[in-house]
Chains A and B, each alone.
Chain A
Amino acid sequence: MLSKRIIPCLDVREGRTTKGIKFENNVDIGDPVKMARFYYEAGADELVFYDITASHEKRDIMIDVVRRVAETIFIPFSVGGGIRTLEDMRAVLLAGAEKVSVNSAAVKNPEIISQGAKAFGNQCVVLGMDVKHVGEKKGIASGYEVVINGGRTYMGIDALEWAKQGQALGAGEICLNSIDADGTKDGYEMALTQLISDNVSIPVIASGGAGKPEHISEVLTKGRADAALIASMVHYGTYTINDIKNHLEQKGIKVRKNRNFSS
């Protein structure tokens, strides 16, 4: 039986993570490569890197980070942020990422999903969705609207329709981020996660709002998510990956156990 995945998310700006880890003195706070290794050893099932560097010229810095991460950890990881073209995707995958995540670029040009899926395989393409609750209105039957630019720009697209379209275009996975829940530590947007999970057949990664292990068990059961993205709750040392997995195990949720290898 497949394990549910716990995925720490690292925001990277010009080669440095924007949030450090506080609980281990031997980790160079801010170095994404060291943080990646730390989470690898701590039992993360996968990692996500978001390049929040605004300018396109500085992409080479991110590619270098990806390359060094790939030499250091041996679990899958995806890279998102600023992926606009097939060439951007290729560069990230060649540098060693397992998957690329497209978000704004896919909203503006959905073809990038099918092009990426065709060139690299569906499993390589993650559709990143930023979603806000706007209530039921014309064109937004589900009440959830797709937004870009960190929630500032409303796109007039129904989140449910966009998820289905993304799957039809060949996305292998959806990373579903609730802008409303993001950063609140009050829990994931349960209704949204359920809605999308119930209506697509590709895996859904829930994102935004995780503050304690109970939030994660809830979104993996009631929310029907396949994986949970986490950030500050582990970055600031409030919880370890083990704390979370122990809790999930108690709740009867299958997780991958991290055991010690002497080699």
Chain B
Amino acid sequence: MIIIVDYGAGNLTSVKRAVSYLGYDSIITDDPEKIANADRIIFPGVGAAGAAMEIMQKKEIDNALKQSFKAKIPMLGICVGCQIIMERSEENDTVCLGLIKGEAKSFPNNMKEVGNRILINDENAVDHCLKVPHMGWNGLNIVQNHPLFNGIEQNDEFYFVHSYFPVPIDKSHIYGETQYGITFASAIGKNNLFATQFHLEKSGEPGLLILKNFCLWKP
């Protein structure tokens, strides 16, 4: 059974719907025992890392996830779920799960897109700063192959909504990168754990394909 972890972050039913569309059963739960006994675990999330970790600790979901990681259960983090696997997050200066070394950082202020002025093609155009949150469709640059990328092509686009992103210390944990003012890690992984900063459940066919690959993944 696929377990979708309920830690107070929204968007759980969207993930459940997508998994169900692919033909897999799943249950949404906050029960640490069920999480510890899952065949596969997805922890999606919209919201703040601080609030998410607080609920995880209160419900002892954090320990269940750490155990599952050691027990080699396939695990998939999405969005905030891609940030809380780091050691800490700049968001509310939050201590996180620490499954991957490094931290979640926010986009710098006043980022500008190179070539934006050319795109606007208007001499009077104000040189606009990039908007944060980074919201919309953006490309994935695959920097390292992974079973979850089966069928995914270089620069396939995915749907993002976020202000923070993971920064792993060990670059070998980075599988995909995305460009938005800066280059940031948008897909990371380690052993039986994989996580995407983009929303697989809202990224059309390529998103569904990665989800499907996860449902079949035998790390």
Contact = CB atoms under 8 A, between A and B. Distances in A.
B128 interface: yes
Given A75-B159, A224-B120, A263-B212, A96 B14 contact: yes
Contact of B203 (A75, A93, A120, A123): A75
Interface in B42-97: 46-47
B121 A2 contact: no
Contacts of B159: 75-76
Contacts of A226: 131, 136
Interface string B103-132: 000000000010000111110011011010
A74 B21 contact: yes
A3 to B, nearest CB: 4
B98 interface: no
B166 interface: no
B206 A221 contact: no
A189 interface: no
Contact-residue bracket for chain A: 35 or more
A1 B202 contact: no
Interface string A17-49: 000000000000000000000001000010000
Interface string A90-132: 0001101010000000000000000000001111000000000
B18 A74 contact: yes
Interface stretch (A145-153, A155-163, A195-203): A195-203
Given A3-B136, A203-B136, A253 B204 contact: no
A123 B135 contact: yes
Given A1-B179, A70-B14, A252 B202 contact: no
A203 B135 contact: yes
Contacts, number: 99
Contacts of B136: 2-3, 5, 45, 203, 226-227
Contacts of A70: 13-14, 17
A224 to B, nearest CB: 7
Contacts of A93: 10
Interface stretch (A80-88, A177-185, A207-215, A254-262): A254-262
A222 interface: yes
B180 A2 contact: yes
B6 interface: no
Contacts of A5: 136-137
B180 A1 contact: yes
25 contacts: A1-B179, A1-B180, A2-B136, A2-B138, A5-B136, A40-B204, A70-B14, A74-B21, A74-B201, A74-B202, A74-B207, A74-B208, A75-B159, A93-B10, A98-B202, A120-B10, A121-B47, A123-B46, A201-B131, A221-B120, A224-B125, A226-B131, A226-B136, A252-B119, A259-B153
Interface of A: 1-3, 5, 40, 45, 70-71, 74-76, 93-94, 96, 98, 120-123, 172-173, 198, 201-203, 221-222, 224, 226-227, 252-254, 256-257, 259, 261-263
Interface of B: 10, 13-14, 17-18, 20-21, 46-47, 113, 118-122, 125-126, 128-129, 131, 133-139, 151, 153, 156-157, 159, 161, 179-180, 201-209, 212
Nearest first, the 7 closest Cβ-Cβ pairs linking A and B are A261-B205, A3-B137, A256-B137, A256-B157, A2-B136, A123-B161, A76-B202
